[in-house]
Amino acid sequence: MKSKAKFGIGAGIIVGTLSCLAYVGAQQSKTYYHTISEIPTLSGASLHQRLRVAGDVKAGSIQHLSGHVDFVLMEQGKGLRVSYVGTDPLPDTFKDGAQCLVEGKVTPDGRFVAETLQAKCASKYEAAPGQAQPAAPAAYSADPKSKS
């Protein structure tokens, strides 16, 4: 019984310490997900948080400027001006219409300064549910019944 209690105390200390470390780690690295339409409504402390925003790159909006690349990210008809200031070259998938995920902060003038950027070609490999592949025949089940 005594050993069991000792083990309990040891376990408690370990779990407690690790929880503290987890808390610190979470505070350090947390990123808030927001939709583009939510960004103008942010105020106070939440404006200074690290944000993560997803959308589609507006066709024709990409401008290569010195030191940064500007473009407009669209989601449900709303746009967000983004400046990518990261050091990594842009991924090849980053082009007009691509799905794009940016992480960074909002500046007071409403521009989003992104440090990291990920892009994925729209509907290249697999369509989202309910969406047919553009310019490709849709797939129908080869259920044995439907052919006979």
Residues that bind another protein (CB under 8 A): 1, 3-4, 6-7, 10-11, 14-15, 17-18, 21-22, 24-26, 28-34, 52, 54, 64, 66-67, 69, 87-93, 101, 118, 121, 124-129, 133, 136-144, 147
Q: How far is the CB of 42 from another protein (least distance, A)?
A: 11
Q: How far is the CB of 108 from another protein (least distance, A)?
A: 22
Q: How far is the CB of 63 from another protein (least distance, A)?
A: 10
Residue 6 or 48: which CB sits closer to another protein? Answer: 6
Q: Using an 8 Å Cβ cutoff, are 54 and 78 in contact?
A: no
Q: How far is the CB of 104 from another protein (least distance, A)?
A: 13
Residue 44 or 136: which CB sits closer to another protein? Answer: 136
Q: How far is CA 51 from CA 14, 31, 75, 106, 133, in A?
A: 32, 5, 16, 8, 31
Question: Which amino acid is it at 103?
Answer: E
Best CA proximity match to 99, nearest among 83, 117, 115: 117
The token pair at 135 is 């310019």
* Pairwise CA distance, residues 117 & 101, whole Å: 6
